[in-house]
Amino acid sequence: MPVISNPYAFNEDELYVDLRSIFGHSLFLKCEGFNFAGSIKLKAAVEMVEAAERDGVLRPDSILVESSSGNLGVALSMIAASKGYRFLCVTDSRCNLSTRLLMEALGSQVHIIAGQEANGGFLGARIDYVRALCASDRRYVWLSQYTNPNNWKAHYRRTAQEIARQFPQLDVLFVGAGTTGTLMGCARYFREWHRPVRIIALDSVGSVIFGGAPGRRMIPGLGMSMRPPLLDDAYVDEVILVEEADTIRACHRLARRGFLFGGSTGTVVSGAMGWLAKHDTRGLTSVAIAPDLGERYLDTIYQTNWLQGLYGEDVLADEPATGSLAACPTPPARSPGRGLQLGNGDRAGGGQRPQHQNRKA
């Protein structure tokens, strides 16, 4: 019987759902939402905060500040409340209302950015606001999930090893891409493992992480409007881009069988099932990471008026959520420094069907 004294000490790491009975293909879905923060972001939050404490960056009078679309903000709110820090989450209008209310209930302050920066979208505007805060008051400490190596190290040390223990014959791993902390941590671990594992990244259409064209994205979680500094393409074998409409269909298909998952999970499942439908899966062991649960999406993904207003009345047409994979042009070569640039002074610590990119011959 687990007995804990702080909320971040508990995280269920051995729960998997076999999706064969729902989608027709065997896929073991690693459920990361069963902790007091409700998502996989708890791992990175703990790692970044504890590293900042060890390095002397966080002091009793410090004010944590972070840019987040939601889940990391909740995790940091919980940790800050437990440790006695003040926390300010800088988010934007896409943040779910329930997520914002949850952060405020935990004692955090939430600042919502209304406008978009010309080239960086909402994310660029959020980061500009965080930079200005840090420049105005040295008590503010920005952990910077976008550049902090402890983001990916948390998943190298924990998530990947949890999967390896349960699936020693793993062949394919599907991982959603946002800051790419989870993706890079798992990919680095399995690159060093005793057998080859194919790493497939799932991203939202409209995200520019892997060089795609920017577009509207209304579901928070995966995707970015800038190239993540943590990303190293060499560790990724394939990329699948998923339309938000297919994300929604996957979520509702799961919900009809009693599994209420969040938007990031819907994207991962939709893209993974599309890939599995195009390959010979006999004897193949496949795992996907489900970052979150669905309660925080009740007023968006699971709300009919919201869905129909943004995606049309037929968005929930009864069809398989395993869209076909079409060839997608390989993005142009990029220099390592391209994308989200953080200066030396910065403190570190969502039409079409899924599109497919081969990363390696």
Query: Which amino acid belongs to residue 210?
Result: F
Q: Which of 82-96, 191-205, 206-220 has the highest mean pLDDT?
A: 191-205
Is 279 a member of any domain? yes
Is 178 a member of any domain? yes
Q: State residue 313's pLDDT score.
A: 87
Q: Are residues 135 and 198 in the same domain?
A: no
Domain boundary among 99, 127, 142: 142
Q: Is the pLDDT at 331 greater than 50, yes or no?
A: no
Is 338 a member of any domain? no
Is 332 a member of any domain? no
Largest CA distance in the chain: 59
> Which of the pair, 308 or 115, is modelled with greater confidence?
308
Q: Are residues 190 and 290 in the same domain?
A: yes
Distance, in Å, from the CA atom of 76 to the CA atom of 39, rounded to the nearest integer, reads 11
- Write the CATH number for 166: 3.40.50.1100
**How much is the average pLDDT of 81-91?**
96
* pLDDT tens-place string over residues 232-247: 999 999 999 999 999 9
Distance, in Å, from the CA atom of 3 to the CA atom of 253, rounded to the nearest integer, reads 36
Distance, in Å, from the CA atom of 45 to the CA atom of 78, rounded to the nearest integer, reads 10
User: What count of other Cβ atoms lies within 10 Å of the Cβ of residue 304?
Assistant: 10
Q: Is the pLDDT at 220 greater than 90, yes or no?
A: no
Average pLDDT of every residue of the chain: 88
Q: Are residues 249 and 318 in the same domain?
A: yes
Distance, in Å, from the CA atom of 36 to the CA atom of 216, rounded to the nearest integer, reads 31
Q: State residue 115's pLDDT score.
A: 65
Distance, in Å, from the CA atom of 113 to the CA atom of 279, rounded to the nearest integer, reads 43
* pLDDT tens-place string over residues 53-74: 999 999 999 999 999 988 999 9
Lowest mean pLDDT among 46-55, 144-153, 195-204, 218-227: 218-227
Is 2 a member of any domain? no
Domain boundary among 122, 142, 162: 142
What three-state secondary structure class fits 208?
Answer: coil
Q: Are residues 19 and 118 in the same domain?
A: no
* pLDDT tens-place string over residues 13-26: 999 999 999 999 99
Q: State residue 341's pLDDT score.
A: 43
Q: Are residues 25 and 50 in the same domain?
A: no
Q: Are residues 154 and 277 in the same domain?
A: yes
Q: State residue 94's pLDDT score.
A: 79
Percent of the chain with pLDDT strictly greater than 90: 76
> Which of the pair, 97 or 266, is modelled with greater confidence?
266
Q: Are residues 62 and 182 in the same domain?
A: no
Q: Are residues 52 and 30 in the same domain?
A: no
Is 337 a member of any domain? no
Distance, in Å, from the CA atom of 26 to the CA atom of 28, rounded to the nearest integer, reads 7
Is 273 a member of any domain? yes
Q: Are residues 48 and 183 in the same domain?
A: no
Is 335 a member of any domain? no
Q: State residue 2's pLDDT score.
A: 84
Q: Is the pLDDT at 11 greater than 60, yes or no?
A: yes
> Which of the pair, 22 or 122, is modelled with greater confidence?
22
> Which of the pair, 335 or 318, is modelled with greater confidence?
318
Q: State residue 338's pLDDT score.
A: 36
Q: Are residues 134 and 242 in the same domain?
A: no
Q: Are residues 29 and 50 in the same domain?
A: no
User: What count of other Cβ atoms lies within 10 Å of the Cβ of residue 84?
Assistant: 7
User: What count of other Cβ atoms lies within 10 Å of the Cβ of residue 345?
Assistant: 8
**How much is the average pLDDT of 123-141?**
92
Domain boundary among 82, 109, 142: 142
Q: Are residues 21 and 46 in the same domain?
A: no
Q: Is the pLDDT at 311 greater than 70, yes or no?
A: yes
Domains: count for the chain: 2
Structural domain of residue 198, as residue ranges?
Answer: 7-36+148-327+349-358
